[in-house]
Amino acid sequence: MDRSNVKVIILAGGMGTRLKEETEFKPKPMVEIGGVPLLVHIMKIYANYGFNDFIIALGYKGDMIKDYFYNYLMRNNDVKIDLGKNSVEFLTDSEESFKVTLVDTGLNTMTGARIKKLQKYVGNNTFMVTYGDGVADININDLYNFHKYHGKFATVTGVRPSSRFGELKVDDDGLVIDFAEKPQVTESYINGGFFVFEPEIFDYLTDDETIMLERQPMEKIRKDDQLMAFKHNGFWKCVDTYKDYTDLNKIWAKSAPWKVWE
C-alpha cells in the first residue's frame, strides 16, 4: 500500500465550548491526556500504520498549535545549547516521523468549509479526515483497505459508543433483571470520524464558512450512493465535556485501548 501521497486532515479549529474549563485557555485538541495533547494521540494512531503526513485545520487559538509543533523538537528531546557559538544541538533522535502542515481555516468556519480550504494541499489523491477530539483503537490499514475495496469515494467510520448512563432491564413487576453500567450502544452506529475520501468529495463542498460536512454534503453524497460505513465495534471516545476529559485521563492511567503504538 503506497501511503506516500495520503494526507491526513485533522479538524482542530472548533471552540470546544462545552469543555470551557480547559478550552478557555487552549484549543480542544491541545487538552492533555496523560500529559500529551489529544492531537498528538490522534496523530500517533495514524502514524502507527504508516500515515504520517498531516494537515491540521486551525481556527480557535490556532497559534498555540503552531507554537507547539514549531518547538516540538525542543520540547521532546535532550538539547545542548552553546550560547557562545549561537548553536543548538539535539542530542536524541525524534521518536516521531510526523510531517505537519498547519493551515488557518478561520475562527468560525464549519467542518465542510475547513476541508474545502485545504483542497490545494491535498491534491488529486485519496486522503483521510478526522476530528481533533476523538480517539479509537481503530485499525487504520483495515479502514483504508475497506475504502479502496468498495470503490465509492466516501467512507465514514461508524462507532458504538458507551451510553452516558447505566441501563436497567426491568420486568413487568419492577424487578431489575439486568443492570449494565454505561453499556455500549447497540441499536445503531454513529459518526465517529476517521473518514477516507477521494478528491470527488470537493465537488460537494464550498468555502462558504457555514457549510458543515455532516449536513448537506454528506446527505447529498448518501443520496448519490457514494457513502460507505466502516464498522468499528471497538473502543471509541471523544472529548466533548469536562467529564469526558477526566474519564479519558483515568482510562489512560489504567490501560488505554487506543494506544496502538509502542
Q: How far is the C-alpha of 257 from the C-alpha of 135, rounded, in Å? A: 9
For residues 14 and 195, what is the distance between their CA atoms, to the nearest angstrom?
18
For residue 245, is pLDDT > 80? yes
pLDDT for 168? 45
Q: Would you list the DSSP string of 116-146? A: HHTHHHH-SS-EEEEETTEEE---HHHHHHH
Question: Which tops the pLDDT comparison, 181 or 139?
Answer: 139
Check which CATH number belongs to the domain holding 183 and give it.
Answer: 3.90.550.10
Per-residue pLDDT, 19: 73
pLDDT at 199: 96
Residue 182 located in a structural domain: yes
Q: Is 90 exceeded by the pLDDT of residue 173?
A: no
Strands 7-12 and 134-136: unpaired
Residue 207 has pLDDT above 60, yes or no: yes
Smallest CA-to-CA distance from 191 within 250, 245, 256, 136 is with 136
Range of the domain at 34: 7-254
Place of cell 480542544: 28
In a domain, 260, yes or no: no
Q: Does 189 reside within a domain?
A: yes
Q: Confidence band (pLDDT; 50, 70, 90) for 93?
A: confident
Whether pLDDT at 174 is above 80 = no
Confidence (pTM): 0.89
Q: Given this model, what pLDDT does residue 81 score?
A: 92
- Nearest 10 degrees: CA dihedral of 229, 233, 234, 237? 60
Question: Cα-flanking dihedrals φ and ψ of residue 37, to 5°?
Answer: -55, 140
Counts for the chain of helices (H) and strands (E), in that order? 9, 16
Q: 3-state DSSP call for residue 247?
A: helix
In a domain, 262, yes or no: no
Beta bridge partners of 229: 156
CB 143 within 8 A of CB 38: no
Residue 29 within a domain: yes
Phi and psi at 20, nearest 5°, equal -65, -20
In a domain, 2, yes or no: no
Please count the CA atoms within 13 angstroms of the CA of 65 that sit on its side-chain side: 29
pLDDT tens-digit series, residues 33-88: 999 999 999 999 999 999 999 999 999 999 999 999 998 888 888 889 999 989 88
Identify whether 261 is part of a domain: no
User: Is pLDDT larger for residue 189 or for residue 82?
Assistant: 82
Q: What is the mean pLDDT of residues 235-257?
A: 92
| Beta bridge mates, 36 | 33
Could you tell me if residue 170 is inside a domain? yes
In the structure grid, which three cell numbers stand for residue 209, read together? 464558512
Number of domain units in the chain: 1
73 in Cβ contact with 94 (< 8 Å): yes
pLDDT of the residue at 74: 84
